[in-house]
Structure 1
Amino acid sequence: MTRSLRVFYIALFLVTLLVLGLWSVRSFFGFSTNAEATVLNGRWTKAVETHYDAEFPIKRLGTNLWAALDFKLFNEGRPGVVLGQDQWLYSDEEFNPIVNEESNLQGNYALVEGVRQTLKDKGVKLVMAIVPAKARLYPEHLGDVKPSRIHSNLYQDFHARVAADKIIAPDLLGPFNQAKLKGQQVFLRTDTHWTPEGAQIAAETLANTIAAKTPLNGEPQRFVTEPAEKITHKGDLRLFLPLDPLFENLMPATEPLQKRNTRAVEDQAGGDDALFADAEVPVTLVGTSYSANPNWNFVGALKQALHSDVLSYAEDGHGPILPMLSYLKSDAFKNSPPQVLIWEFPERYLPVNNEIGDADPQWVAALKQAGARQQNVAINTQSETPDRAQN
């Protein structure tokens, strides 16, 4: 190699480093950290390193390229997603075998019963909204991928168990399937969650059941739901396909989403204040992102269907157990318990070891023990009944 060529290669290398460095530095415009991240405690440095690592062009190129190879050659994404056919994506939580699944199942069943007893002691009626798995509603897009054994009858078993515990839990799978046959899409193609239409169907089903089995006290309130902005929705499951920006064309297409807003209708006699003259809120909602995310308008759909205000204590990203434990320890529950509590609980969370956050483990264990004792009493009572009948 001649001296001129060596100089050229060195210069090219240095220019490449400079360009990559400037590209990465550009990503720091507008970058900020929270007040707790300081140089002294090391959190600021860690935040800078994490941000730089995520924005470094070579890393992004490698990530995109590797994801593209997995996607095209093996029809796979990152752990967290299962690729179906026709650009349908599913959460792998609906497919994977679960560690200690039987123990988790029994523990969560007992916890649900323990929660019911705690609510009953405060005069609160529990109504469960068991959300069926997306794979159960749309199996036609799965191709050769099949859920593991634990998931096959999970929805039906969950309903049978809560029915044995005398917990109100209307079937949502049937109404969803009926809407699907009519051409309505009740779950998003590239997202874990239901559509606003699916949320409305669930709300109406719950409202009909509550009206029949535990009617709400007080005067009915009027709510109306109106179309809001129409957005291009990028489903949360697309995040497990890190193809953007270099291979965006390989990604499953985005989906249109018509957002909705629900508002109280002004009362002719007393205005808006008349709607909430009674300080007691008859209905409280606890649940997951199916309830907490305003894109689906589940809370608004419940208000309109129930003709009642609804206080939501649903949380994103924590599953169904942690928000319930947090609510049971809240001042709102202690001081102003509702007449009815709706617990939105996706079936896929039943066989997993759900997080309990800062909740006292001994208190959680006591809830499970109380629930397990009650379930054992119910089982023994049922088994003794046929013997007495024979005698």
Structure 2
Amino acid sequence: MTTAIRPLPRRPRLASALCGLLLALAAAGAQAQRASSIVIQGKDNWLFPGWGSLTQVDTRGIDAATQLVRETRDALAARGVQLEVLVLPDKTLFYQDKLPDGTTLSADVKKRYQTIQDKLKAAGISTIDDEAVLRRLKDGGQDVFYRTDQHWTQAAADATAEALAQRIRQDVKTLAGKPGTGMALGSVVNERRYGDLAELFLTPEQRKQAGRETFTVRRQADNQSLIDDAPAPVHVTGHSMVQPYFGFPQKLSNLLDRPVSVNWKPGNVGHWIMLLEYLESPAFKQNRPQVLVWQMFEPTYAQGPDAKGLWDNASIMTADAWRGRMKAAVGQ
């Protein structure tokens, strides 16, 4: 469930990294027929996940989600845990010029990330504006998402970790633990392969046309222990964007100079159940962190714990049921 950062695999488990809902739709017999609705095939062989609306924003859902996040923040604060909410922006925001001809983002969707940010800030919830972070990076000439994959680049993960580390230092003046216990960063290597959107959802002919691309990943440093014995004062919970393969938790640990633990699953289970799994785990009860980073995703932020057909069935529950489990796990 909850682990310290482990050595990186040769390549990510693509089936695990992609939203399980889409995996179900991408069964072999239906792949070719449904690819157009699952994956947006853009210009210059750019691929985009097709599960987020490009035209509509669920403002009521955003408000309801923010209320649950606020209650979680309050419950954790009463136990001495600082909640940091990390909402990652959608890939389409940064590559609108690569969308197919005739496909555009509505004005509301273009502002959706900032709408979420405004709601979080109005509720007094600590967060960072990752759209601004990644925008600066892209404006400087670096890609922030891979062309044929739903995930972010090493540069984007690093920049986000830097912004979040700065925020954590502002909110928590002194982290528990000893200096020198952060993760050392290993060397950067390149891997040539298909992105997950191409690998899973394109026909062989389409995949060949899209082509492989170079993934830049950071290997484990020499002599780095697999699991640090020291308790981690910072924990990250989320989906596949924060898995160690893409380097985010390692970079955060290095910058904070403290161990960082992480639990993640594919995006289909949703951020609601991921938080509960951690809060209800022995790891939380035995070593309550000073800082809990709760990673979410812009297109699915408005989906509550009761979003049937959007999360896997085992993750579905009413908002009241989720609230009750959260408070019980925290000890309220």
Q: Is the CA contact (8 Å cut-off) linking 2:54 and 2:104 kept in structure 1?
A: no
The answer for the alignment partner of 2:279 in structure 1 is: 328
1:264/1:312 CA distance change after superposition, 3 Å: farther
The Cα offsets for residues 165-218 of structure 1, whole Å up to 9 and x where unpaired, read as 221111112221221122111111111110111111111111111112223233
Q: In structure 2, how many angstroms separate the alpha carbons of the residues matched to 1:103 and 1:365?
A: 18
1:276/1:87 CA distance change after superposition, 3 Å: closer
Aligned: 1:182 with 2:132: no
Q: How does 1:86-105 map to 2 (within 5 A)?
A: 86-96=44-54, 101-105=58-62
- Report the Cα offset of residue 96 of structure 1: 4.6
The answer for the alignment partner of 1:109 in structure 2 is: 66
Partner secondary structure for residue 259 of structure 1 = strand
Q: Is the CA contact (8 Å cut-off) linking 1:90 and 1:135 kept in structure 2?
A: yes
Alignment-mate amino acid for residue 262 of structure 2: S
Aligned: 1:305 with 2:255: yes
Q: How does 1:167-206 map to 2 (within 5 A)?
A: 167-206=125-164
Alignment-mate amino acid for residue 65 of structure 2: N
The answer for the alignment partner of 1:132 in structure 2 is: 89
1:151/1:319 CA distance change after superposition, 3 Å: farther
For 2:186, which of 211, 226, 233 is the aligned residue?
Answer: 226
Q: How does 1:222-371 map to 2 (within 5 A)?
A: 222-227=182-187, 229-239=189-199, 241-244=201-204, 246=205, 248-249=207-208, 251-263=209-221, 279-292=230-243, 294-317=244-267, 318-352=269-303, 353=307, 355=311, 357=314, 361=318, 362-366=320-324
Aligned residues: 291
Q: In structure 2, how many angstroms separate the alpha carbons of the residues matched to 1:236 and 1:78?
A: 15
- Report the Cα offset of residue 111 of structure 1: 1.8
* Larger Rg belongs to: 1
1:106/1:175 CA distance change after superposition, 3 Å: closer
- Report the Cα offset of residue 101 of structure 1: 3.2
Q: Is the CA contact (8 Å cut-off) linking 1:262 and 1:301 kept in structure 2?
A: no
The answer for the alignment partner of 2:75 in structure 1 is: 118
Q: CA RMSD in A?
A: 3.2
Q: In structure 1, how many angstroms separate the alpha carbons of the residues matched to 2:117 and 2:252?
A: 21
- Report the Cα offset of residue 131 of structure 1: 0.7
The answer for the alignment partner of 1:161 in structure 2 is: 119
Q: In structure 1, how many angstroms separate the alpha carbons of the residues matched to 2:300 and 2:42?
A: 21
- Report the Cα offset of residue 109 of structure 1: 1.6
Q: Normalising to structure 2: TM-score of the pair?
A: 0.76
Partner secondary structure for residue 178 of structure 1 = helix
The Cα offsets for residues 339-385 of structure 1, whole Å up to 9 and x where unpaired, read as 0011111111112336383576443154799xxxxxxxxxxxxxxxx
Q: In structure 2, how many angstroms separate the alpha carbons of the residues matched to 1:184 and 1:342?
A: 26
Q: In structure 1, how many angstroms separate the alpha carbons of the residues matched to 2:294 and 2:219?
A: 22
Q: In structure 1, how many angstroms separate the alpha carbons of the residues matched to 2:297 and 2:223?
A: 32
The answer for the alignment partner of 1:151 in structure 2 is: 109
1:183/1:200 CA distance change after superposition, 3 Å: same
Q: In structure 2, how many angstroms separate the alpha carbons of the residues matched to 1:297 and 1:85?
A: 28
Q: In structure 1, how many angstroms separate the alpha carbons of the residues matched to 2:114 and 2:219?
A: 33
Q: Which one is further off, 352-361 or 116-125?
A: 352-361
Q: Is the CA contact (8 Å cut-off) linking 2:62 and 2:116 kept in structure 1?
A: no
Q: Is the CA contact (8 Å cut-off) linking 2:193 and 2:213 kept in structure 1?
A: yes
Partner secondary structure for residue 320 of structure 1 = helix
Alignment-mate amino acid for residue 299 of structure 2: R
Q: Is the CA contact (8 Å cut-off) linking 2:73 and 2:83 kept in structure 1?
A: yes
- Report the Cα offset of residue 150 of structure 1: 5.2
- Report the Cα offset of residue 224 of structure 1: 2.4
The answer for the alignment partner of 1:217 in structure 2 is: 176
Partner secondary structure for residue 215 of structure 2 = strand
Q: In structure 1, how many angstroms separate the alpha carbons of the residues matched to 2:133 and 2:207?
A: 36
1:329/1:363 CA distance change after superposition, 3 Å: farther
Segments of 5+ residues of structure 2 without an aligned counterpart are 1-26, 328-332
Alignment-mate amino acid for residue 148 of structure 2: T
Alignment-mate amino acid for residue 77 of structure 2: K
Alignment-mate amino acid for residue 214 of structure 1: V
Partner secondary structure for residue 108 of structure 1 = helix
1:247/1:158 CA distance change after superposition, 3 Å: closer
Q: Is the CA contact (8 Å cut-off) linking 2:137 and 2:144 kept in structure 1?
A: yes
- Report the Cα offset of residue 283 of structure 1: 0.2
Alignment-mate amino acid for residue 178 of structure 2: E
Q: In structure 2, how many angstroms separate the alpha carbons of the residues matched to 1:140 and 1:192?
A: 17
Alignment-mate amino acid for residue 259 of structure 1: V
Segments of 5+ residues of structure 1 without an aligned counterpart are 1-52, 68-76, 267-271, 370-391
